[in-house]
Chains A and B, each alone.
Chain A
């Protein structure tokens, strides 16, 4: 009876061991990363011994199979190819990231945003294939309406660091508040600067295409100028340090005198001519 119980127990253990699919292989630092196998070593045919070459010949000609060494070399080549693909993929990813962080999205004011969750498309057509998902309120840079379909517009989409271009349905674009263009700080070296129209001779002459009224735009260094007087008439300096005034340019040309004061004391005077080309 005891022997019978013992033999049943042994049988049960044997069945359990045989049914178990998990290998009991041990872990080793020598294994190929991510596997439980030692790295395959490939001995090139030229470096094989006579005995190894005979073994290859026997396996090929008699059993019509690859020899163990030939199998190792084939596996090695596959492993190398796989390694190459993953490296290419890694490079691609790096390139994509680099492109996504390109200057396009760096310093542009995104003047619009999306009104609803939607997509941007390759063409002004819903069937053209989408490029990216557009979340509600995502920043958009409106570039232009589509010339083929006025209900679509070409935009740049900013989503985090990524920036994608494509077409979006016009009804999903909402304009943000008015953009206040600040005076370019980098060229604030002049106490009074005229930005439009362009100088033909700096602080001496501006040429315009025809006689009539023209808007002169400029800005001041507000640290040094707090009052602008143009042809004896005070003009407003805006919060962003810019000023604007209109001048009538007669056929014979017109002289403009801009005086910049700080606390009533004249700091800069520009007198120039505006003439018709």
Chain B
């Protein structure tokens, strides 16, 4: 028994001594670790409940959401109820306002009326009421002034051309840029709902405006400006309560300055499985981290060794966000004429130009190593150390695509109205989302999302 224990201890000691020999080896070049921004997507996550400002669009056209339409599901009333309840749960202080041409504070008894048609009856002169529109830009200004609060806006989100160009456009862009720069995000929740009312201010080609009365369904939107945690909670609650089985009438997009979830190296999320399974069966295969940061795949390969490094999109991209439309890689190669690590005294930095390509599909990001300069063109009898840094270059526009089929441009809405649509689309929704994406792009910074290296020698 004692002999057995001694034998085990001696084996462990041998292994430890072997590892220490490895550590002493010059098996990798001297590396300057570029760890990028290690605190990605780290919004100030205070456990304290903050203020919640809730804005209900009181323009007369919103009335149609409160009046039932036979054969159509009316979710507006229930979702307004939910929003009030969620706000009470996530906020310490809930402040309700209505808005149209102007913003006005609401008494508690008025909050309950939001679900009734009476709330949307205009008490002003006919001219004043007729010109009632939603000055959403004013709410963005408020959100800019109070970035720590969460702002929830319930609106039809139909915007006229003039609101999206020139100085009026700046009134949307500037506060949003400021909001995103402060690390906050904007969630857009779209709900296709029954509609029984008047859609007004529909621009025609001749410059006039008409009304449309025959819509039976129309989307309304909940904009949430604040931290991602609250945005996700509101979205999750609405999905759970109303769209758990079918999300056909539900759309969601998250606009954030950083659609990148994390740097995979910081959390050591890169594993053997990021490379093809066959690689682990190559001679002398070893997978380890240097400095607890850089993963290295060490092996002896040949010209047919397949080297495809794959990352799941879900591991790097914030779900529901605009995503990333453009990735890039930086490559560095070192070589040494000593095959065995114990013989290596130094590494020489080599210039091979571009070696690999990066592509993204629906599910994965794929770095195809040595596609531009295949392994068969590399010299045998040399050890190579090839390090790749993967960067997100530019945010995507997935949210524009998400909402595109609920949107109609001002140039198309005249013809669209002529078709007597039963489901009415939102004027300039896609343009509005593209403005949000552009703002997000302006505030986006090139972000390192992963680094890895391959250390190999080639056999014939």
Chain A residues with CB under 8 Å of chain B are: 109, 111, 113, 115, 141-145, 150-151, 170-171, 173-179, 196, 208-215, 217, 244, 246, 248-249, 276
Taken together as a complex, chains A and B put the C-alpha atoms of A171 and B210 apart, in Å, by: 8
26 A–B contact pairs at CB < 8 A? A141-B126, A143-B126, A151-B213, A173-B210, A174-B208, A174-B209, A177-B207, A178-B162, A179-B127, A208-B104, A209-B104, A209-B105, A210-B105, A210-B107, A210-B108, A210-B110, A211-B95, A211-B105, A212-B106, A213-B97, A213-B103, A213-B105, A214-B104, A215-B103, A246-B141, A248-B146
Out of A109, A175, A248, which one reaches B201, CB within 8 Å? A175
Given A109-B127, A174-B208, A178-B131, A215-B200 contact (CB < 8 Å): no
Contacts of B96 in A (CB 8 A): 210, 212
Contact across chains for A115 and B210 when beta carbons are under 8 A apart = yes
DSSP majority for the B interface?
Answer: mixed
Residues 191-216 of chain B, each 1 if its beta carbon lies under 8 Å from chain A, else 0: 00000001011001001111101000
Contact across chains for B210 and A212 when beta carbons are under 8 A apart = no
Interface size on B, residues (CB 8 A): 31
> Does any Cβ of A come within 8 Å of B53's Cβ?
yes
Chain B residues with CB under 8 Å of chain A are: 53, 95-97, 102-108, 110, 126-127, 130-131, 138, 141-142, 146, 162, 198, 200-201, 204, 207-211, 213
Taken together as a complex, chains A and B put the C-alpha atoms of A213 and B143 apart, in Å, by: 11
* CB-based nearest A residue for B131: A179
Taken together as a complex, chains A and B put the C-alpha atoms of A214 and B104 apart, in Å, by: 5
Taken together as a complex, chains A and B put the C-alpha atoms of A241 and B104 apart, in Å, by: 22
Contact across chains for A142 and B102 when beta carbons are under 8 A apart = no
Contacts of B210 in A (CB 8 A): 115, 171, 173-175
Knowing that A113-B208, A213-B142 are A-B contacts, what are 14 other residue pairs whose CB atoms are under 8 Å apart, sorted by A's residue number?
A174-B208, A174-B210, A175-B201, A175-B209, A176-B208, A177-B209, A208-B105, A209-B106, A211-B105, A212-B95, A213-B53, A213-B103, A214-B105, A248-B146
CB contacts between A and B, total, < 8 Å: 86
Query: Distance (Å) between the CB of B226 and the closest chain A CB?
Result: 16
Contacts of A111 in B (CB 8 A): 127, 130-131
Contact across chains for A142 and B126 when beta carbons are under 8 A apart = yes
* Shortest 8 CB-CB contacts between residues of A and residues of B: A212-B105, A175-B209, A215-B102, A174-B208, A210-B105, A212-B95, A210-B107, A215-B103
Taken together as a complex, chains A and B put the C-alpha atoms of A111 and B209 apart, in Å, by: 10
Taken together as a complex, chains A and B put the C-alpha atoms of A8 and B204 apart, in Å, by: 84
Query: Distance (Å) between the CB of B353 and the closest chain A CB?
Result: 54
Query: Distance (Å) between the CB of A243 and the closest chain B CB?
Result: 13
Query: Distance (Å) between the CB of B170 and the closest chain A CB?
Result: 11
Contact across chains for A210 and B209 when beta carbons are under 8 A apart = no
* CB-based nearest B residue for A141: B126
* CB-based nearest A residue for B96: A212
Contact across chains for A170 and B53 when beta carbons are under 8 A apart = no
Q: Please indicate which of the listed interface residues B53, B106, B131, B208 has the most CB atoms of chain A within 10 Å of its own CB.
A: B208
Taken together as a complex, chains A and B put the C-alpha atoms of A113 and B208 apart, in Å, by: 9
Contacts of B130 in A (CB 8 A): 111, 142, 175
Contacts of B95 in A (CB 8 A): 211-213
Taken together as a complex, chains A and B put the C-alpha atoms of A162 and B331 apart, in Å, by: 81
Taken together as a complex, chains A and B put the C-alpha atoms of A174 and B201 apart, in Å, by: 9
Contact across chains for A215 and B107 when beta carbons are under 8 A apart = no
Contact across chains for A210 and B106 when beta carbons are under 8 A apart = yes
* CB-based nearest A residue for B107: A210
Query: Distance (Å) between the CB of A183 and the closest chain B CB?
Result: 15
Contact across chains for A145 and B198 when beta carbons are under 8 A apart = yes
* CB-based nearest A residue for B94: A212
Contacts of B208 in A (CB 8 A): 113, 115, 174-177
Contact across chains for A215 and B141 when beta carbons are under 8 A apart = no
Contact across chains for B53 and A144 when beta carbons are under 8 A apart = no
Out of A141, A144, A178, A246, which one reaches B103, CB within 8 Å? A246
Contacts of B198 in A (CB 8 A): 145, 150
Out of A151, A170, A179, A217, which one reaches B102, CB within 8 Å? A217
* CB-based nearest B residue for A110: B127
Taken together as a complex, chains A and B put the C-alpha atoms of A248 and B107 apart, in Å, by: 15
Contacts of A213 in B (CB 8 A): 53, 95, 97, 103, 105, 142
Contacts of A109 in B (CB 8 A): 127
* CB-based nearest B residue for A154: B126
Taken together as a complex, chains A and B put the C-alpha atoms of A111 and B210 apart, in Å, by: 12
Contacts of B204 in A (CB 8 A): 174
Query: Distance (Å) between the CB of A115 and the closest chain B CB?
Result: 7
